[in-house]
């Protein structure tokens, strides 16, 4: 019976969150003049965020509290113990083979397949931002970056490499980023698998995990889970994994991770914001496990990156940088936002499944974390 109580509270939490969904509402800013679905229906953009967070975390909190209450014997100091992680030569060799095959796949692509019609909106956005940069020799004061300075101006790199400025070269550059994503995914999968407390069949697990993951980075699909622009997040993730699994304090890597506070924002406003939030969570984690060496190295990297930015960037550019960032945060939802439907309501099947999958992922993690205390390492 005790095992069922957390599930009962979880179901109750989901039902309660569904009932009060519509009552979670922030007053609409009537002075707003931006045209979009939110403004037409007088909906505040924060409504969906607050409703989604409550719908996910309220049931999970009830489940976690009741789970801990009836499973106190599972809480031990072993959760904070770190174990040695040994390298695996077989996995290293398989890793190299998969990377080589990914490179061969890239060079075997038929690039005639990518000579379709011009995407006026997206490709026009990329090309216009770069054209303004080249013609005005200004950054934020010269144009508006709706993705981010380097994200919108990704062709600047291709121009430097190929001495050319065209849609074709830019498309090729994005395909190169897909290749980079595949390599990073393979390396991340390697880190995950060698960290697992298994003595046999790690190679099989690595192959299954890696092959299924790299298929999510497609050269042919425009919209994929591992879109070309996600590369900056994958690099950040790999570096964080290296810190977590390192045998000794890796101060230099930690210092580099701190630089992603600024670097990621320069690439993409949204991904940069997420990475900065993750940096805060990661710092809390390091402080909690008393890994002060890496903790201070990351903070030093964050401070150094922003100090360099403020010292070498003109004041007018800095002002416009922050101005564009806050415009994107405050305006984007009003322009392109679509209200998230109430869970279990008519035509909300897909949306409800997404929320429930997040909740059940949380339940899985709670159970796994405490059920495996005696077998799994902190890493």
pLDDT band at 257 (very low <50, low <70, confident <90, very high): very high
pLDDT at 79 over 60: no
Q: Is the CB of residue 110 less than 8 Å from the CB of residue 172?
A: no
Q: What is the model's pLDDT at position 210?
A: 95
For 145-173, how does the pLDDT look when each residue is reduced to its tens digit (9 = 90+)?
888 888 888 767 776 777 767 777 788 88
Task: Find the DSSP H helices in the chain.
Answer: 5-19, 37-40, 46-69, 89-107, 120-136, 149-152, 155-162, 167-194, 202-214, 231-245, 251-267, 269-288, 292-312, 315-336, 349-371
pLDDT at 84 over 70: no
Q: What is the model's pLDDT at position 199?
A: 66
Q: Is the CB of residue 13 less than 8 Å from the CB of residue 63?
A: yes
For 175-206, how does the pLDDT look when each residue is reduced to its tens digit (9 = 90+)?
889 999 999 999 999 998 888 776 678 889 99
pLDDT at 93 over 90: yes
Structure tokens at 344: 């279990």
When the pLDDT of each residue in the chain is averaged and rounded to a whole number, the result is 87
Looking at residue 370, the DSSP 8-state letter turns out to be H
For 39-63, how does the pLDDT look when each residue is reduced to its tens digit (9 = 90+)?
778 888 889 999 999 999 999 999 9
Distances from the Cα of 219 to the Cαs of 7, 28, 112, 157, 170, in angstroms? 42, 42, 13, 20, 14
């Amino acid at each position: 019976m005790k095992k069922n109580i957390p599930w009962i509270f979880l179901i109750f939490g989901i039902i309660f969150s569904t009932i009060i969904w519509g009552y979670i509402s922030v007053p609409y800013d009537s002075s707003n003049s931006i045209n979009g679905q939110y403004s037409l229906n007088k909906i505040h953009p924060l409504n969906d965020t607050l409703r989604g967070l409550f719908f996910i975390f309220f049931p999970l909190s009830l489940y976690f509290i009741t789970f801990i209450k009836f499973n106190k014997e599972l809480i031990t100091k072993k959760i904070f113990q770190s174990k040695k992680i040994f390298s695996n030569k077989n996995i290293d060799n398989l890793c190299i083979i998969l990377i080589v095959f990914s490179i061969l796949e890239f060079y075997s692509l038929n690039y005639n397949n990518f000579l379709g019609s011009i995407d006026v909106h997206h490709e026009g956005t990329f090309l216009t931002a770069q054209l303004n940069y080249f013609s005005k020799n200004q950054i934020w004061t010269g144009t508006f970056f709706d993705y981010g300075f380097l994200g919108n101006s990704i062709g600047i790199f291709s121009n430097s490499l190929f001495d050319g400025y065209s849609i074709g070269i830019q498309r090729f550059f994005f395909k190169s980023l897909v290749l980079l994503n595949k390599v990073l995914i393979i390396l991340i999968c390697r880190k995950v698998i060698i960290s697992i407390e298994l003595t046999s069949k790690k190679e099989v697990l690595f192959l299954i995990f890696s092959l299924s993951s790299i298929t999510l980075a497609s050269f042919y699909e425009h919209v994929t889970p591992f879109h070309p622009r996600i590369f900056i997040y994958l690099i950040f993730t790999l570096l964080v994994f290296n810190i977590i699994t390192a045998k000794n304090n890796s101060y230099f890597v930690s210092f580099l991770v701190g630089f992603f506070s600024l670097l990621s924002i320069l690439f993409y406003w949204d991904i940069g914001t997420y990475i900065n939030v993750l940096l805060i969570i990661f710092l809390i984690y390091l402080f909690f496990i008393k890994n002060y060496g890496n903790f201070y190295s990351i903070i030093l990297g964050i401070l150094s990156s922003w100090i360099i930015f403020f010292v070498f960037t003109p004041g007018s550019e800095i002002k416009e940088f922050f101005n564009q960032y806050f415009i994107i945060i405050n305006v984007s939802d009003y322009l392109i936002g679509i209200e998230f439907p109430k869970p279990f309501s008519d035509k909300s099947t897909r949306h409800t499944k997404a929320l429930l999958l997040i909740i059940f992922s949380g339940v899985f993690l709670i159970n796994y974390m405490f059920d495996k205390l005696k077998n799994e390492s902190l890493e």
